[in-house]
């Protein structure tokens, strides 16, 4: 039988592959295991998600983060007050892969095209061509780093760690900014944690964030309201519904879906980051960045202050911690014809039941599925909802 191809070896790809293998479905899995976490997040980062929300879903018990801690002989990470270091999470993902997806192929998929007789033809960067009866796209954050246009003019050749402007996904070792002045643009956990880590490494850091009160931190677990239901993201009815009942999400009007993906679980620092940030990092809350460029060989930003003045800020380097945008156009491994055939909504694939796209046999999971199944798909805990459902649909579709 032709295999199913899973493109991606982050939490979503590994989880989907484990579920397919458990069903006895032939599967080929491609990608660099846990590369987003290993290479595109800062060294020394701590996960914002709690241990309970950091499990990669498996078809059989014994593969949660706490099981990894036991197997590795390290302190168990269980309560909401336990904080997960990124290095532990990477090692957990690698352990999960060795146990459940041992035959992963560390190869890039260069192209996916539909075959006239049904199924797909894939080309690998090893030069191999092969056919698959179905394809699951689990490429996560890869290639989707977003640089807002107002920062693009300071980086005419695109963001790079050695140029005037980088994207946060390009920085792993922040110690290189020791003794330097750094501007970090953004107000999400990635911006605030990058700023704190760079300050701890000896940089002089300023966060530039849009809107009054935009730099804020969550409440510690022991102060969460007890009468609201628990969810992986804290106690609130809205978070509980989005976490455990994402089914109806794709039936909401498109405006509501796109709005919720951006706003729910939006920019907010983790509760434990506050004391490492406040007093160590300068903050400029502005109404907007008017333009960017360079001054005396350094990147410079003109910002409109909250009271309407225009101020110039400059530093040795600017980090755009401005997140990720799903855009099918950036998934250039999907053949042109396939991309034009796919039903999309604001650049994201429109998904139906079981995470299927409008092209039979083509599935999307993880971040590209967030516009259809809600913000929980942006996080590791989304694997619990996504993987069993996607695989159930795929198996059923086998006929
Ligand atoms: C700074 C930061 C902190 C975060 N912290 C948390 C957190 O605390 N908790 C949480 O739940 N989420 C967190 N997230 C979100 C988290 O990154 C995603 O939930 C998760 O990584 C998505 O997993 P994924 O498997 O979809 O994709 P990724 O982990 O991005 O993996 C993508 C995979 O696709 C592969 N790939 C891409 N293109 C190809 C190709 N053409 N051929 C073959 N393989 C390919 C890559 O090699 C890789 O294996 C954070 C994100 C960032 C940026």
200 Cβ neighbours under 8 A, 6+ residues apart: 276, 280
Please say if the pLDDT value at position 240 is more than 80: no
Query: Closest Cα to residue 141, out of 356, 322, 389?
Result: 322
Query: Closest Cα to residue 193, out of 39, 47, 378?
Result: 47
Looking at residue 33, its pLDDT comes to 97
Q: Are 32 and 162 in contact (CB under 8 A)?
A: no
User: Could you tell me the pLDDT band of residue 222, with boundaries at 50, 70 and 90?
Assistant: confident
- Residue 3 CA to residue 26 CA, distance in Å, equals 5
Partners of 109 in beta bridges: 124
- For 40, counting Cβ atoms within 10 Å of its Cβ (0-12 exposed, 13-18 middle, 19+ buried), the class is middle
For all residues of the chain together, what is the average pLDDT?
Answer: 92
Looking at residue 261, its pLDDT comes to 67
Residue 73: HSE in the Cβ half-sphere, 13 Å Cα cutoff:
0
Q: How far is CA 232 from the centre of its chain?
A: 16
Please say if the pLDDT value at position 227 is more than 80: no
What letter does residue 181 receive in the DSSP assignment? E
Q: Are 189 and 268 in contact (CB under 8 A)?
A: yes
Q: Which of 8, 46, 171, 261 to mutate to test the pocket of ligand 1 (most atoms within 8 A of CB)?
A: 8
Please say if the pLDDT value at position 398 is more than 60: no
Query: Closest Cα to residue 284, out of 254, 317, 314, 325?
Result: 314
Instruction: State mean pLDDT over 143-172.
Output: 93
Distance of CA 139 from the midpoint of ligand 1 (Å): 7
Nearest ligand 1 atom to alpha carbon 107: 43
Please say if the pLDDT value at position 262 is more than 70: no
Looking at residue 85, its pLDDT comes to 97
Please say if the pLDDT value at position 239 is more than 80: no
Helix spans in the chain (H): 11-22, 35-39, 65-72, 86-100, 149-152, 189-200, 237-244, 254-263, 274-277, 336-341, 370-373, 383-397
Supply 382's token pair.
Answer: 């989304």
Q: Which of 6, 13, 137 to mutate to test the pocket of ligand 1 (most atoms within 8 A of CB)?
A: 13
Looking at residue 399, its pLDDT comes to 36
Looking at residue 264, its pLDDT comes to 67
Ligand 1 site, residue 142, Cβ cutoff 6 A: yes
To the nearest 5 percent, what fractions of the chain are helix, strand and coil? Answer: 35, 20, 45
Looking at residue 255, its pLDDT comes to 80
What letter does residue 119 receive in the DSSP assignment? S
Domains in the chain (CATH in brackets) are 4-143+324-396 (3.50.50.60), 149-218+268-320 (3.50.50.60)
- Residue 322 CA to residue 208 CA, distance in Å, equals 11
Ligand 1 site, residue 80, Cβ cutoff 6 A: no
Q: How many CB atoms lie within 10 A of CB 21?
A: 20
Dump pLDDT digits (tens) for 66-111. 999 999 999 999 988 899 999 999 999 999 999 999 999 999 999 9
Instruction: State mean pLDDT over 171-192.
Output: 96
Query: What are the angstrom distances between the C-alpha of 372 and each of 93, 123, 183, 251, 259?
Result: 26, 28, 34, 8, 12
Nearest ligand 1 atom to alpha carbon 32: 47
Lowest mean pLDDT among 189-193, 280-284, 312-316, 393-397: 393-397
Distance of CA 380 from the midpoint of ligand 1 (Å): 9
Query: Closest Cα to residue 17, out of 51, 57, 54?
Result: 57
- Residue ID of nearest Cα to ligand 1 atom 24: 140
Please say if the pLDDT value at position 369 is more than 90: yes
Ligand 1 site, residue 190, Cβ cutoff 6 A: yes
- Residue 182 CA to residue 191 CA, distance in Å, equals 12
Looking at residue 1, its pLDDT comes to 83
257 Cβ neighbours under 8 A, 6+ residues apart: 249, 250, 345, 371, 372, 374
Check residues 381 and 243 and name the one with the higher pLDDT: 381
Most confident of 189-193, 223-227, 245-249, 295-299: 189-193
């Amino acid at each position: 039988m032709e295999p199913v191809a899973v493109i991606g070896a982050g939490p979503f790809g590994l989880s989907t592959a484990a579920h397919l293998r458990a069903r006895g479905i032939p599967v080929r899995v491609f990608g660099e295991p846990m590369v987003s976490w290993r290479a595109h997040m800062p060294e020394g980062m701590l996960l914002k998600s709690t241990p309970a929300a950091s499990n990669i879903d498996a078809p059989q018990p014994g593969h949660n983060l706490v099981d990894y801690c036991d197997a590795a002989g390290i302190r168990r990470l269980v309560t909401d007050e336990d904080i997960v270091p990124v290095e532990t999470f990477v090692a957990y993902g690698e352990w999960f892969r060795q146990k459940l997806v041992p035959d992963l192929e560390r190869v890039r998929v260069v192209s996916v095209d539909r075959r006239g007789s049904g199924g797909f033809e894939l080309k690998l960067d090893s030069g191999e061509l092969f056919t698959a009866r179905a394809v699951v796209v689990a490429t996560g954050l890869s290639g989707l780093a977003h640089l807002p246009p107002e920062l693009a003019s300071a980086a005419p050749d695109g963001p790079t760690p050695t140029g005037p402007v980088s994207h946060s996904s390009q920085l792993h070792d922040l110690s290189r900014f020791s003794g330097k002045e750094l501007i970090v643009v953004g107000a999400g956990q990635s911006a605030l944690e990058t700023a704190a880590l760079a300050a701890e490494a000896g940089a002089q850091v300023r966060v530039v964030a849009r809107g009054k009160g935009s730099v804020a931190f969550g409440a510690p677990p022991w102060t969460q309201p007890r009468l609201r239901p628990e969810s992986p993201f804290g106690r609130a009815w809205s978070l509980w519904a989005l976490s455990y009942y994402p089914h109806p999400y794709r039936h909401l009007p498109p405006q509501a879906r796109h709005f919720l993906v951006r706003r729910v679980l939006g920019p907010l620092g983790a509760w434990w980051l506050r004391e490492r940030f406040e007093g160590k990092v300068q903050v400029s809350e502005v109404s907007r960045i008017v333009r960017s460029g360079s001054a005396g060989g350094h990147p410079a930003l003109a910002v409109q202050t909250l009271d309407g003045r225009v101020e110039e800020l400059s530093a040795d380097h600017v980090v755009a911690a401005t997140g990720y945008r799903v855009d099918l156009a950036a998934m250039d491994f999907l053949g042109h014809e396939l991309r034009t055939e796919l039903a999309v909504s604001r650049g994201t694939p429109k998904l139906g039941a079981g995470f299927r796209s409008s092209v039979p046999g083509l599935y999307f999971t993880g971040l590209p599925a967030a516009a259809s199944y809600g913000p929980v798909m942006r996080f590791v805990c989304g694997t619990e909802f996504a993987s069993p459902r996607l695989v159930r649909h795929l198996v059923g579709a086998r006929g």
